[in-house]
Chains A and B, each alone.
Chain A
Amino acid sequence: MKLLVCVKQVPDLESRFKPDPSGQWYSETDLAFRINEYDDYAVEQAVRLREQLGDAAELTVLSVGPDRVVEVLKKALAMGCDRAVHVQDPAPHLKDPWQIASIIAAYARSQQYDLIFTGFQSQDRGSAQIGPTIAELLGYACTTTLVGFSFADGVVTATRELEGGLKGVVKMKLPALVTCQLGLNVPRYPTLPNIMKAKKKELETVPVANLLQEETRIATESFYAPEKKGGGMVLEGDVTELVNRVYAILKEKTPALRQ
């Protein structure tokens, strides 16, 4: 059984973001990068399935981006993926989700994966389009925002998060694609011995031009910090008075106390 997990490297969200000179995206200077949080859940779930299936399965991890993304591939290898694919693209932020999904689908089509895992969205762009678009391009079944996963007898059983605290259960036959959400699992730490072993695993490099066939359909016009709003309210007085005023404000300005 062939498994694929797609990961993206994103800036640490606690960074101080500034627009790049073009004003269309953020400047990478001084940013620290890490694996997209939801992709970490995807890797963990894929590795668990790989462990469940044993040597009957092979798990590939793929990332599109400049050389720095090899760091997240190595992390995924140290977590238990078998091999890595680096689709080399010095400027993936200039591509729209349609193009990125097409690139991944082009690679995946040649490999005939049975099951593909992705994060449900990236933390930087947050379009949540890549997973479902890959599934559509490949003609795979797709379920999004997983908070539960199991696999038996060729059937994926996925628990999805719905609105309003509800959950739903979906069963899918392979081939399929799932996108992973917070709450699905607790990703393992890559241990030092596994970081060492990962150095010996295969890392395939593919120039993005070999896979890119689609034109961009969306362009990011500008990237800017929203204007600062006025400062917060500071309330002073005794506790009883404060409680009443906070209660009144919450009732008037937020849905927190409405029934």
Chain B
Amino acid sequence: MDFELSQDHKVLRDSVRDFVEKEIKPIARKIDEEHMIPDALVAKMGEMGLLGSYFPDEYGGAGLDMLSYAIVVEEVSKACGSSGVLISAHTSLCCGPIYTFGSEEQKKKWLPDLNTGKILGCFLLTEPEAGSDAGSLTTSYRKEGDEYVINGSKIFITNGGYRGTGVIFATSDRSLKHKGISAFIVDLKSPGVEILRNENKMGIRGSYTTAFAFDGVRVPAENLLGKEGEGFKIAMDTLNGGRIGIAAQALGIAEGAFERALAYSRERKQFGHPICENQAIQFKLADMYAKIETSKLMTYKAACLKDQKKSYTMESALCKMLASEAATYVTKEALQIHGGYGFICDYEVERMYRDAKITEIYEGTNEVQRVIISKMLLQ
């Protein structure tokens, strides 16, 4: 067992780190305040290859592996959780299912523009009445000639505001429950696709979270992903992989906050000495670091298992749960270490504190992760 990153992964990490230091870190606060990741930054992330890291170069990807992808999301999220989730949702939840379940024609048609960042991707599963219980979704489809017609609404769609490419889930017959669900690739500029709103949120404010209405949206039959009735399976498999991305995002947020808290605890003097000389602060730092390291090991393990084409359902649930809970804990303590300054926007830990919370909720709430883990233990 070797816990060292390979030299290739270190080169990747350092390159992404340099990119993040110069291109993202200086504008992370602006991204939060203006609720917007600048198009110029998205374009640069595309040129850098951050939007197609683990897909083969024949589909416009960088041809790297899942561990590289986790490192990319982690490094970006250290500076900006919004940019981290943009990459994660785009890669895991849109490019991922097209690559895994798409036909050769579908991959050739959709992936190159997605992987190079010309078009951003999203995943349209959640509905107002179908969150954790995704099988009860009501967005419907029917076949008309060589087209499918989709009607319904979707909410909380990360990257939705870009109106790029989506993988959408709809049912032919609600009485069939899970078995009635199919997945389609949809161009979100199609007639009948309406953005109802981009949500105003507590955290990851630079990332779009969009509510859509689909009113008689016509999708060519060739856009069916997999077979009819396979949608639920595709959704679950996709979320399984996506959890590694969200774990990496949460890990990055935690590391970003920890780095600042550690530095601040050395600089800040009270009662004539740096506050890091107080055991109360030292214990916080030790607990924070322990949670970060545990999450990192599990996140990298899940990514490596996926790379080795081994089962990783348990590990992806574990890493998502551990890393998101590390993120909320570490950002809370980082803010506390900063004292009153931590509550001031200039010090950035308050943004990280706000950004961290969602990682316990999306891509399967942590309660759902515990269901997955315990089910696997007891089956």
Which A residues lie at the B interface, using CB under 8 A? 34, 68, 70-71, 74-75, 78, 189-196, 198-199
Contacts and interface: CB of A to CB of B under 8 A. Distances in A.
A190 B64 contact: no
B8 A199 contact: yes
A75 B57 contact: no
Contacts, number: 56
Contacts of A195: 8, 11-12, 15, 49, 62, 64
Interface string B4-19: 0001101110110011
Given A71-B10, A78-B11, A195-B11, A189 B18 contact: yes
A203 to B, nearest CB: 10
B206 to A, nearest CB: 21
B319 interface: no
Contacts of A191: 15, 47-49, 62
A193 B62 contact: yes
A196 B64 contact: yes
Contacts of A198: 11
Given A75-B15, A78-B15, A193 B10 contact: no
Contact of A196 (B7, B10, B57): B57
Contacts of A70: 7
A205 to B, nearest CB: 13
B7 A74 contact: yes
A71 B17 CA distance: 15
B220 interface: no
Q: In this complex, which of A70, A74, A78, A189 has the most chain B Cβ atoms within 10 angstroms of its Cβ?
A: A189
A24 B236 CA distance: 58
B229 interface: no
Contacts of B48: 189, 191-192
Which secondary structure characterizes the binding site on chain A? helix
24 contacts: A34-B14, A71-B10, A71-B14, A75-B14, A189-B19, A190-B11, A190-B15, A191-B47, A191-B48, A191-B62, A192-B48, A192-B53, A192-B62, A192-B64, A192-B72, A193-B61, A195-B8, A195-B11, A195-B12, A195-B15, A195-B49, A196-B57, A196-B62, A196-B63
A139 B7 CA distance: 36
Contacts of A199: 8
Contact of A74 (B11, B19, B57): B11
A198 B49 CA distance: 14
A3 to B, nearest CB: 21
Nearest to B72: A192
A16 to B, nearest CB: 11
A193 B15 contact: no
Interface in B1-46: 7-8, 10-12, 14-15, 18-19
Given A190-B11, A191-B15, A192-B49, 16 more contacts: A68-B7, A70-B7, A74-B8, A74-B11, A75-B15, A78-B11, A78-B15, A192-B12, A192-B62, A193-B57, A195-B8, A195-B11, A195-B49, A196-B62, A196-B64, A198-B11
A112 B15 CA distance: 32
A194 to B, nearest CB: 8
Nearest to A68: B7
B295 interface: no
Contacts of B50: 192
Interface string B63-74: 110001000100
A71 B11 contact: yes
Interface string B313-348: 000000000000000000000000000000000000
